[in-house]
A and B are shown apart, each in its own frame.
Chain A
Amino acid sequence: MSDVAVIGFAASDRSVTTSGVETLVPVFEQALDRAGLGRREIDFWCSGSSDYLAGRAFSFVNAVDAIGAVPPIAESHVEMDAAWALYEAYLKILAGEAETALVYGFGKATAGDLHRVLALQLDPYTVAPLWPDAVSVAALQARIGIDAGLFTERDMAEVAARDRGGNAEELLGRPYLSNPLRAHDVARVTDGAAAIVLAGGERASRHRERPAWITGIAHRIDAQGLGERDLTEVPSAAAAARDAGLDHDVDVVALHTPFTHQELLMRRALDIADTARFIGTHGDAMFSAGLSRIGAAAEEIMSGRADRAAAHATSGPALQQNLVCVLGSNPPGSNPPGSNPPGGNQLGGIA
């Protein structure tokens, strides 16, 4: 069993075609270049994308064109944010079946009506046939939080003002989009792609002076029914954080929260220290946004700006599925004083 590290990351905030191929070629080149690896040195490729977003069947197979699959490659795919593809690749390396992996996510959300497309991830018998759009579903969650006194519309506006500029007072004067959400509460729908290169043990140290070691990673899921769970609690995120060894010692945090109120809910659920620095985002690129959060956290380590970082990814409606990844400048087994959390390097998802 080998420790696993992020050794390269690249992202694009645009998509050329819905197939993703033209977008992925330069993203792969950049990520591999930063990792100091050639394309044919990758043992395992794993992606996250959705045919519903691409509007064509087997779109992920089409995207394999960007890899150049001669000689044949080992490849897999998840119909989720590529943060979950990273989890699969992480396991593949831990299991000794690969030393290196390239994980990628891509999506061209603007090719269709994203908020209608996302209705199709809801219960197909009792909810999806009503076509509740994703913004409305998030608004129902936000109101429960406001009614419960957990936060106010002003708190939400302040999250938006921090990431996008402007001031909360002025934002609160704007009309509702889906009451209680205003336009600033909803992440901009963006196209995009991202890629992360992983390597195990000695390979990671050989290719990158300061790899971002994954000290813990776990993911959990909450009940699907929107009326089945307390939408203000995110037990899946709290459980994933516990299993990933997230504690108050992280320097920097990258959350994947497509709505302002979801950042407020996640701060509570993850019990993040007030001292932690937050990395903001400028949009929600479907199927790569969560992976990009891991990439952004890893960059903090690789660049030396941080010694411990945490990233979060979400998938599904109203924060239903959550993944937490904790990264550090030291391998989880090295155990230098004060930097290795109890519970680190647990396989939370399957233990």
Chain B
Amino acid sequence: MTIAFDYTRSLGPVLGRFMAGLRDGRVLGGRTPDGRVHVPPLEFDPITHEPVTELVPVAPTGTVISWTWNARPLEGQPLDRPFAWALIRLDGADTALLHAVDAGSPSTIRTGTRVRVRWAPTRVGHINDIACFEPGETAAENVAAPESAEPVEIMTTPIRLHYRHTTSDEEDAYLRALADGRLIGQRCPACRKVYVPPRVCPADGVVPGEVVAVADRGTVTTFCVVNVPFAGQRLQPPYVVAQVLLDGADIPIPHLVLGLDAAGVRMGMRVAAVWRDRSEWAFTPENIAHFEPAGEPDAPYETYAEHL
């Protein structure tokens, strides 16, 4: 499972100018009242807590303060071939910047190695405007554009993380039953409620016990009509997502209610599962395509009032 999001961050007066500098091919440091030049710049002086306002250019060359060899680059890192991570003190700066060094092999880098900025071919006002550093005594190229007055206001950083979720024993049994065309719940040994899917009882904090077969039909407790389109939507709005209290269960499950006009769905409506063709069944609640009206009289409010 991959979770991804593009973080957009507003930069403020200090980092906005720092990022604009990178875009223009310059590295800027922030000078604090004690005269020290910090790269990257700080927004506030750590000693006096005064805002940092003075940004000064530092050299695109510097010295490796510490390094490590990254033999297996990971997704998102500056280089896709083995490289060194280094803390680099740029000439004119008093603090060190973390970045990648395209050193080729671990034998070409050590503490004290001189390195220079390799600029990205296109620069937008982001830390990745520095493509990486490379061994070298002097600046490789003069890319600096005329100083632009426009600070960068927003930077965008895509974040992508990958997970492999594990089911609990109870979820495992629930999904296996679904693959077999059955719905099961489990009863809390303390409050006797039947949870579908089975879960630790959130009222009592105990592991569920007795396995209980529940019906593939039930009562709509509440519902909403989806009118808003969104990315990845599989149905044409308007359509209904309802909470369906299966017969024999004490907690409703969410599912689609189709087969009638959205305006016809109501609380208390009796509905039945429409299973997909058996050949399509897998370990998923999607084995049930949707619910549709069961053609029974509506359930009285008192029968589901406790489950809203």
Q: Which residues of A contact B (CB under 8 A)?
A: 16-18, 21-22, 25, 28, 39, 52, 55, 64-70, 108, 111-113, 115-117, 120, 123-133, 136-137, 139-141, 143-144, 147, 176, 178-181, 223, 225-228, 231
Contacts and interface: CB of A to CB of B under 8 A. Distances in A.
A17 B68 contact: no
Contact size range, B: 35 or more
Contact of A68 (B7, B163, B206): B206
A143 B68 contact: yes
B88 to A, nearest CB: 8
Interface in B196-214: 199-207
Contact of B168 (A17, A39, A179): A17
A181 B85 CA distance: 13
Question: Which of A66, A113, A125, A127 has most B Cβ within 10 Å?
Answer: A125
A130 B166 contact: no
B138 interface: no
B128 A130 contact: yes
Nearest to B46: A223
Contacts of B161: 52, 55, 112-113, 116-117
A140 B126 contact: no
A179 B98 contact: no
B284 interface: no
Interface string B227-239: 0000000000000
A49 to B, nearest CB: 15
Contacts of B204: 68, 70
Given A68-B202, A68-B206, A127-B98, A113 B68 contact: no
B3 A133 contact: no
A170 B18 CA distance: 48
A22 B11 CA distance: 42
B165 A55 contact: yes
Nearest to B199: A65
A129 B127 contact: yes
B1 interface: yes
A141 B68 CA distance: 10
Nearest to A181: B68
B166 A28 contact: no
B98 A226 contact: yes
B65 interface: yes
Given A16-B166, A113-B162, A129-B157, A225 B67 contact: no
